[in-house]
Structure formats: C-alpha cells, structure tokens
Amino acid sequence: MSTQVDIPGYVAGTWVIDTARSDVSFQVRQLGVFTIGGTFDDFEGTIVTRENPRDSSVSAVIRTASVNTKNKIRDRHLRTDDFLKVEQYPTMTFASTGVRVDGDSFLVDGDLTILAVTKQVTLTVETNGFGVGHDGKPLARFSAYTEVNNREYGVIRGATAVVASNKIKVILKIEANKQD
C-alpha cells in the first residue's frame, strides 16, 4: 500500500451528496444466467474530506422503498417481507470507520446496516475530481463499488435463494456539493 496521497485539486470540507446527479445502483445474477440491475432513487449522504484524506469520513442513508429495477411487479416484490421488508426497515445505512490508501484508490471501511443487521464492508473509491459546478460552487466527484452477501443480512431466504445469487454488486457514482 502506498503512503503517498496526491489528489489533484483536493479540497477539505463538508460535502452533501447531490442526489439528482448521483447514482446508487446494484447488480445481482438471477438463475445463474443473467444479471438484473437496479437503483435506489431516494438517498442522502455527507462526505467530510479532511486535510489528510485518511481522516475523511462518509455517512449515507438509503430509503429501501425507493428500489427501482424498471419492473413494477419485481419492485413491489422486493419491498415485501420476502426481501427488503420496507415497512419494518425503511432505511439502510452506511457509516465509514476508516480510510486506507490503495494505489490510486482509497479503501473506505464502514458499517453497512440492512434489515437491522450491521456488517463491515469495504468500498473501493476513486476520486474523479474536485472542481467548480455550473453554479460556480465547489463540487467533488467519486465512484465506488463493493460486493455484499445478501444472505448475511437476511435479505434472501428460502425458495428465493435458489433464484438469485447471494452476491450483490453495489456501484456508486457520487457528485457532492461543498457546504459553506
């Protein structure tokens, strides 16, 4: 692991995720043959970049009822007790616990809570740039990915487990606006 951290244009501060310009998506294999993708359309988050990037943090909340696979029947089923139990568990959360450098990427460790089950996950994060938006205000862009085992969270059980893979790829494309 590299000890040098060099991010062109890096700006320390508190950043709020711009949900209109960001994407929280997932992919899961079904029947071992094809991949189904989807998004969560209602989320929020804050990124705090520190002078030393390793001291930075991120927290996010995703509203489970906002799951969107572009198939209304499947989306309704995903919201039921067979999967996300959105009535009982309306949100899933992520809170970072540490940041490590790995080449040109950062590894952001954190606690991911789904269905009241919390597990440690690691996001591989790329800094896509710091700059100024069309409104003249500072913005930052990041992309990240991880893989989670949905059975560890109790998301898939029983007969459904035969149809869907236990591994879910999570892909994040984030644009955030600096707070004054």
Q: Where are the domains of the chain?
A: 13-178
Beta-bridge mates of residue 93: 61, 113
Q: Which pLDDT does position 2 carry in this prediction?
A: 42
Task: Answer whether 0.85 is exceeded by the pTM.
Answer: yes
Q: Which pLDDT does position 155 carry in this prediction?
A: 84
Q: Which pLDDT does position 165 carry in this prediction?
A: 72
Q: Which pLDDT does position 34 carry in this prediction?
A: 82
Angle at 126 between CA 139 and CA 112, to 5 degrees: 95
Task: Tell me which H or E stretch contains 162.
Answer: helix 160-163
Task: Tell me which H or E stretch contains 77.
Answer: helix 72-78
Fold of 13-178: Lipocalin (2.40.128)
Burial of residue 89 (CB within 10 Å: 0-12, 13-18, 19+) is: middle
Q: How many angstroms separate the most distant Cα atoms in the chain?
A: 53
Q: Which pLDDT does position 163 carry in this prediction?
A: 57
How far is the CA of 157 from the CAs of 63, 148, 150, in angstroms?
A: 21, 15, 9
Q: Which pLDDT does position 103 carry in this prediction?
A: 84
Residues in the chain predicted with pLDDT less than 70, given as ranges, are: 1-5, 31-32, 156-164
